[in-house]
């Protein structure tokens, strides 16, 4: 059985919106797109390559899917582990409005059947069903304990605005740190595995 993993780029204050370019996602008046670019380095690239080497299928939210579909089909390179896998492996996109996706190997899953489809797809995989970005979808999956592993790439920048991965109201959950390293550019790379509901105590006991 495969596992569902979530990979997200984050600022120090937890913002995940539009890391790659100013025009990537200006929704809600976000003016800081492209905050990742000044810090990108070989260490980040190596970590991302490791993640894509484990992928067997992708699960994407509609906004992230549209961003990817607008770029990667025009930059297909068999030698690029990101482009080759995104373009040719199965992609499942959570959407209630997308009807006829043009990007090859895309299956649209509506909200009513999403949880059952996620479980079905994951159960028949040997590798990973990977979620990249896809903030609202990621929050939906985390709220239902469907994520088996989280890769967080935390960049040394604070924005003070933007969509965050972990909103108020999520499930209190404990995680085990299974891998960690830093890159020359100061990016902190963390991999976590959920271990159950969060526990609480007091130093006074």
> Which tokens is 102 given?
């043009």
- Domain extent, residue 20, equals 3-197
Asked whether residue 84 is assigned to any structural domain, the reply reads yes
* pLDDT range class, residue 170, cuts 50, 70, 90: confident
Q: Which residue has the tokens 């979808």?
A: 137
Of the chain, the percentage scoring pLDDT greater than 90 comes to 91
Asked whether residue 189 is assigned to any structural domain, the reply reads yes
Condensed to tens digits (0 to 9), the pLDDT of residues 48-95 reads 999 999 999 999 999 999 999 999 999 999 999 999 999 999 999 999
Q: Which residues contact 146 (CB under 8 A, 6 or more apart)?
A: 4, 115, 118, 119
Beta bridge partners of 15: 164
Condensed to tens digits (0 to 9), the pLDDT of residues 129-147 reads 999 999 999 999 999 999 9
pLDDT at 42: 96
Asked whether residue 202 is assigned to any structural domain, the reply reads no
Q: Helix %, strand %, coil % for the chain, to 5?
A: 30, 25, 45
Asked whether residue 65 is assigned to any structural domain, the reply reads yes
Alpha helices in the chain (DSSP H): 42-52, 62-71, 81-88, 114-123, 135-143
- Confirm if 3 and 47 have CB atoms less than 8 A apart: no
Handedness of CA 20, 24, 25, 31 (dihedral sign): positive
Asked whether residue 205 is assigned to any structural domain, the reply reads no
> Which tokens is 83 given?
């482009």
Please report, for the domain that includes residue 87, its CATH number.
Answer: 3.40.430.10
Asked whether residue 118 is assigned to any structural domain, the reply reads yes
pLDDT at 113: 85
Asked whether residue 204 is assigned to any structural domain, the reply reads no
Condensed to tens digits (0 to 9), the pLDDT of residues 90-130 reads 999 999 899 889 899 999 998 778 999 999 999 999 999 99
- The total number of structural domains in the chain stands at 1
* pLDDT range class, residue 205, cuts 50, 70, 90: low
Measured CA to CA, the distance from residue 195 to residue 177 in angstroms comes to: 10
Q: Which residue has the tokens 């299974």?
A: 178
pLDDT at 168: 77
Asked whether residue 10 is assigned to any structural domain, the reply reads yes
- Rg of the chain taking only CA atoms, in angstroms: 17
């Amino acid at each position: 059985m495969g596992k569902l993993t979530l990979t997200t780029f984050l600022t120090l204050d937890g913002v995940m919106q539009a890391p790659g370019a100013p025009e990537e996602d200006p929704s809600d008046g976000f003016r800081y797109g492209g905050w990742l670019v000044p810090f990108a380095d070989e260490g980040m690239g190596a970590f991302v390559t490791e993640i894509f080497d484990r992928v067997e299928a992708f699960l994407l939210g509609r906004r992230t899917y549209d961003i990817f579909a607008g770029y990667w089909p025009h930059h297909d390179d068999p030698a690029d582990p990101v482009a080759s896998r995104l373009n040719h492996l199965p992609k499942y996109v959570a959407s209630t409005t997308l009807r006829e996706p043009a990007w090859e190997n895309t299956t649209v899953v509506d909200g009513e059947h999403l949880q059952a489809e996620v479980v079905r797809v994951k159960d028949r995989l040997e590798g990973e069903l990977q979620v990249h970005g896809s903030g609202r979808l990621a929050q939906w999956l985390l709220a239902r304990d469907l994520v088996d592993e989280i890769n967080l790439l935390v960049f040394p920048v604070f924005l003070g605005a933007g969509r965050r991965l972990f909103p108020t109201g999520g499930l209190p959950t404990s995680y085990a740190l299974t891998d960690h390293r830093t890159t020359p550019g100061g990016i902190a790379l963390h991999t976590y595995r959920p271990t159950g509901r969060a526990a609480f105590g007091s130093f006074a006991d």
